[in-house]
């Protein structure tokens, strides 16, 4: 840091790299000198009028600030807070011209102090520091628009180009020929009454979504294991008929059901044999940790949850297995009716 020291170190003469410690008083004196110089460069006419106790013309940007000159020769904002117990810097901040380079330095410093938050936080930090920058809002917005760190922190997300739809989404086969499958839940139901009160158990729902017409079929399952899902899958086939392609994530119950039913799938397993060979059923698993691959049926699950939330609000008695099955049937009917009306 380059500075001039006149009293503390007699060897310091002229501009040089000084190794002496800087005191708070020296920082305040330097700050006052810089501020007074900046004000004299921009508001010299207003300073002369204030010294002569004359009114500042309305064309001046300081007309509404009621400025006065303090004991250090600095222009400060006036106002009606002279008898307040607030700090001097808060009651009467120092006036800084907004177009000056020093104003930009102050704003950048305060912006870094609030860790690159928005203009509201930066303006508050400037006022807390004891400065009143003329046209502060416009100047802060201009500097923040040029801040590289803010651009990096708030850069818009890259939107990836959508890939082509799979053939299952574009086929004209009958409904539920190609389905997307997922399980959602759970819900706590009152299974039976005991001496200590009601006993509760969990229930889930398996949703079969048609890939072409977006119709749904919902089956309630009692557990998350393979056997429970196989029973739900058999009920689905009994009602909707055979399917050709099934898509799902790599849930353990799905993988186990695929092996148990001996359905050919895209998993390298030599023990997996054919199932329903005449219908040619295949099970396709999404890549691991890629739930966005199942957006076609995940969207239907979100819709079903919203309908269920409305039904649960109107439920007056305890939720039982029978009531949950009825709700799922009504949810499927509402979704299918909505798609048929489009």
Q: Which CATH architecture has domain 27-153?
A: Orthogonal Bundle (1.10)
C-alpha distance from residue 251 to each of 192, 202, 248 (Å): 30, 18, 8
- Percent of the residues in the chain that have a pLDDT greater than 90, as a whole number: 31
The neighbour count for residue 190, using CB atoms within 10 Å, is: 16
Nearest to 245 by CA among 190, 209, 194, 282: 282
Q: What is the CATH number of domain 168-341?
A: 3.30.420.10
Give pLDDT, residue 219. Answer: 95
What global pTM score does this model have? 0.54
- Residue ranges of the chain that CATH labels 3.30.420.10: 168-341
CB-side exposure of 217: number of CA atoms within 13 Å?
21
- Residue ranges of the chain that CATH labels 1.10.340.70: 27-153
Q: What band does 254 get if pLDDT is binned at 50, 70 and 90?
A: low
Helix, strand, coil abundance in the chain, percent, nearest 5: 40, 20, 40
| Least trusted range by pLDDT, from 61-65, 240-244, 260-264, 329-333 | 260-264
Instruction: State mean pLDDT over 111-137.
Output: 91
Give pLDDT, residue 339. Answer: 65
What is the distance between the alpha carbons of residues 266 and 282, in angstroms, rounded to a whole number? 8
Phi then psi for residue 136, to 5 deg, are -65, -45
126 upstream amide cis, omega within 30 of 0: no
Query: For 28-61, what is each residue's pLDDT tens digit?
Result: 888 889 999 999 888 888 888 888 888 888 888 8
Radius of gyration of the chain (CA): 37
Give pLDDT, residue 303. Answer: 93
Query: For 205-224, what is each residue's pLDDT tens digit?
Result: 999 999 988 899 999 999 87
The pLDDT mean for the chain works out to 82
Nearest to 297 by CA among 169, 143, 121: 169
Q: Residue 256: pLDDT above 90? A: no
Residues in the chain: 342
Query: For 259-312, what is each residue's pLDDT tens digit?
Result: 666 665 554 433 333 444 444 678 888 877 776 778 888 899 999 999 999 999
Q: Are 18 and 5 in contact (CB under 8 A)?
A: yes
* Residue 289 in tokens: 């940790």
Contacts 24+ apart (CB under 8 A), 316-322: 318/189, 318/190, 318/198, 319/187, 319/188, 319/189, 319/190, 320/189, 320/190, 320/191, 321/189, 321/191, 321/203, 321/220
Q: What band does 154 get if pLDDT is binned at 50, 70 and 90?
A: confident
* Residue 149 in tokens: 């760190």
């Amino acid at each position: 840091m380059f500075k001039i020291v006149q009293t503390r170190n007699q060897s310091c003469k002229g501009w040089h790299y000084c190794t002496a410690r800087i005191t708070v008083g020296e920082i305040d004196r330097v700050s006052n000198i810089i501020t007074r110089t900046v004000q004299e460069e921009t508001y010299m006419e207003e300073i002369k009028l204030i010294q002569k106790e004359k009114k500042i013309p309305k064309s001046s940007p300081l007309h509404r600030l009621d400025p006065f000159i303090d004991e250090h020769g600095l222009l400060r904002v006036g106002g009606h807070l002279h008898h307040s117990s607030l700090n001097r810097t808060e009651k009467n901040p120092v006036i800084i011209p907004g177009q000056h380079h020093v104003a930009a330095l102050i704003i950048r410093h305060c912006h870094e102090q609030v860790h690159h938050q928005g203009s509201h936080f930066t303006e508050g930090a400037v006022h807390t520091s004891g400065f009143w920058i003329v046209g502060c809002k416009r100047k802060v917005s201009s500097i923040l628009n040029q801040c590289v760190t803010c651009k990096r922190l708030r850069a818009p997300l890259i939107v990836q180009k959508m890939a082509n739809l799979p053939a299952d989404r574009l086929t004209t086969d009958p409904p539920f020929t190609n389905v997307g499958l997922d399980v959602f839940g759970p819900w706590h139901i009152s299974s039976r009454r005991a001496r200590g009160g009601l006993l509760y158990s969990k229930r889930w729902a398996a949703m079969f979504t048609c890939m072409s017409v977006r119709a749904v079929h919902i089956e309630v399952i009692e557990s998350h294991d393979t056997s429970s899902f196989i029973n739900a899958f058999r009920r689905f086939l009994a009602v909707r008929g055979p399917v050709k392609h099934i898509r799902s994530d790599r849930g353990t119950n799905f993988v186990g059901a695929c092996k148990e039913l001996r359905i050919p799938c895209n998993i390298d397993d030599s023990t997996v044999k054919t199932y329903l060979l005449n219908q040619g059923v295949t099970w396709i698993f999404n890549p691991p940790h890629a739930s966005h691959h199942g957006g076609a049926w995940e969207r239907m699950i979100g819709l079903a949850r919203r309908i269920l939330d409305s039904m649960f609000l109107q439920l007056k008695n305890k939720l039982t297995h029978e009531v949950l099955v009825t709700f799922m049937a009504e949810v499927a009917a509402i979704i299918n009716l909505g798609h048929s009306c489009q």
